[in-house]
């Protein structure tokens, strides 16, 4: 059971939009930056969003991040079949004095 | 270009030890905090251990505290993970990752991982 709660799976059609939530508490999401990662099958994770809502160079603006209170959200618009992957949120937890990952969300593009 | 190359994985019996290495290149290793993450077969990512740029501070997940030790040699651009008293549940793919910028706890480059199998 992860400290950060993500839906196990989401799905949408190509071209549509999807959001993935990451729910935590004041000891983690509520008071620390959240970052998001995409993990394509058989590959290492890739940074999509850092500092809640910033995109690294090379990440298309179809990917966006936001945070409100103790929840963070990853948004993906204009879905493509190549977006099918597992997505993870991560942040620091002040109570644990450790980082924590969400349990991951599998995105299916129907 | 930034590269992180893990090594040291293998098959080991429960209770034994293993040391993983992560050799960094393409950036100023001595200025970056580093992270170890693992992924059990078919499971999600698990945060394991984090070390400051200068090695003066480290943190651990409860699941490995007291058994695993993170360290670094900035003169060799190398990150280590000493794993003692290994358990079957420590089986997985171990990744090292580089922090993007101090304090963000976000990680912009990852290695390809080294596989650890703990089995009798």
Q: What is the pLDDT of residue A59?
A: 97
Model confidence pLDDT, tens digit, residues B55-95: 999 999 999 999 999 999 999 999 999 999 999 999 999 99
Which chain B residues contact residue A86 at CB under 8 A?
Answer: 44
Q: What is the pLDDT of residues A84-107, one digit of tens each?
A: 999 999 999 999 999 999 999 999
- Residue B76: CB atoms within 10 A of its CB come to 12
DSSP A16-79: --EEEEEE--TTTGGGS-EEEEEE-TTS--EEEEBTTTB--TT--TTEEEEEETTEEEEEE-S-
* Residue of A24, A45, A59 to mutate, testing the B interface (most B Cβ within 10 Å of its Cβ): A45
Residue A27: pLDDT above 90? yes
Out of A32, A39, A47, closest to residue B107 by CB: A47
- Give me the pLDDT at residue B30, please: 96
Assign B26 a pLDDT band (cuts: 50, 70, 90): very high
pLDDT (0 to 100) of residue B41: 96
Alpha-carbon gap: A91 to the closest alpha carbon of chain B (Å): 7
| Closest CB to A32 among B35, B44, B105 | B105
- At residue A1, does pLDDT exceed 80? no
């Amino acid at each position: 059971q992860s400290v950060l709660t993500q839906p196990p799976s989401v799905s949408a059609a190509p071209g549509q939009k999807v959001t993935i939530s990451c729910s935590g508490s004041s000891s983690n999401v509520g008071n620390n930056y959240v970052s998001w990662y995409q993990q394509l099958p058989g590959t290492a994770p890739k940074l999509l969003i850092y500092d809640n809502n910033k995109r690294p160079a090379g990440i298309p603006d179809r990917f966006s991040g936001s945070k409100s209170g103790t929840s963070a959200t990853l948004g993906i618009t204009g879905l493509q079949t190549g977006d099918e992957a597992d997505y993870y949120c991560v942040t620091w937890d002040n109570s644990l004095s450790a980082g924590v990952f969400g349990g991951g969300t599998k995105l299916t593009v129907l | 270009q930034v590269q992180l190359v893990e090594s040291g994985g293998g098959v080991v019996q429960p209770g034994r030890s293993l040391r993983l290495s992560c050799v960094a290149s393409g950036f100023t290793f001595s200025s970056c905090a580093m992270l170890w993450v693992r992924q059990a077969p078919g499971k999600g990512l698990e945060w394991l251990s984090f070390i400051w740029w200068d090695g003066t501070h480290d943190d651990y997940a409860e699941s490995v505290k007291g058994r695993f030790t993170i360290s670094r040699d900035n003169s060799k651009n190398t990150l280590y993970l000493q794993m003692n008293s290994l358990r079957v549940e420590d089986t997985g793919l171990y990744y090292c990752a580089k922090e993007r910028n101090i304090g963000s706890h976000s990680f912009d480059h990852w290695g390809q991982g080294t596989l650890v199998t703990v089995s009798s």
